[in-house]
Structure 1
Amino acid sequence: MEEGVTAVTAEVLDPEPPVARPAAGEDRETERGLRGLVGSGSSQVGISAAMRARDAARPTDADLAEAEERLVIVRRNWVPRDEPPKR
C-alpha cells in the first residue's frame, strides 16, 4: 500500500440505549435489604425469619434424588491415588 493513501469512512451515529432506572422507593428497599444481609452491622433479619428461610431453602428428598441422578462432578487435573488410603 502506498504511503499517505487514506480512506474516509462515514461515522456511525447510533443512539445510546436508554438506561433503565428502578423507581426511587424500590431501589431504596432493595438496598436496605442487601445492607442487612451483607453489611458489617447487625442483621435486620430476625432469628425466627432466618430459621424459616433456612428451612425453606433446605432441599427436599426429591431435590437430592434429582441432583444425584443429573449432577456431573468434573475434577480438573485430578489423578486417582495408586492405592486406597490406609485406615
Structure 2
Amino acid sequence: MEPHHRLGDERDAERGLRGLVGAGSTQVSVSAAMRARDAARPTAEDLARAEEELVIVRRHWVPREELPRR
C-alpha cells in the first residue's frame, strides 16, 4: 500500500474516533448513562455461556511450572 493511502486511512479513523468521543460535553445525562451501563451488564446466563465457550489465547505465554493435566 502506498504511504499516502495509509495516511488518509489514519485520518479517516481519527476523524471517526473524534466523532464518537468528541471534545465537548456528553449528550446524555448521568442517569441515562447509568441506565445504559446497567442494561449492558451481562446476565448470569451470559456469564455461564462465556465460561463454557470462551477461549482465551495468550500469544507467546509459557507457564512457569507444569500445569495439572485434566
TM-score (norm: length of structure 2) = 0.62
User: Relative contact order (C-alpha < 8 Å, sep 6+): which is higher?
Assistant: 1
CA RMSD after TM alignment: 1.9
Gaps of at least 5 residues in structure 2 are 1-17
Q: Deviations over 1:29-75 (max 9, x none)?
A: xxxxx84x510111011011101100000000000000000000011
Aligned match for 1:49, one of 17, 20, 32: 32
**How many residues are paired up?**
49
Aligned to 1:66: 49
Identity %: 76
Partners in 1 of 2:41 and 2:33 — Cα distance? 12
Query: Could you list the runs of 4 or more consecutive aligned residues of structure 1 that deviate by over 2 angstroms after TM superposition?
Result: none
Partners in 1 of 2:57 and 2:49 — Cα distance? 18
Partners in 1 of 2:37 and 2:61 — Cα distance? 33
Amino acid corresponding to residue 80 of structure 1 in structure 2: P
TM-score (norm: length of structure 1) = 0.51
Partners in 2 of 1:70 and 1:60 — Cα distance? 15
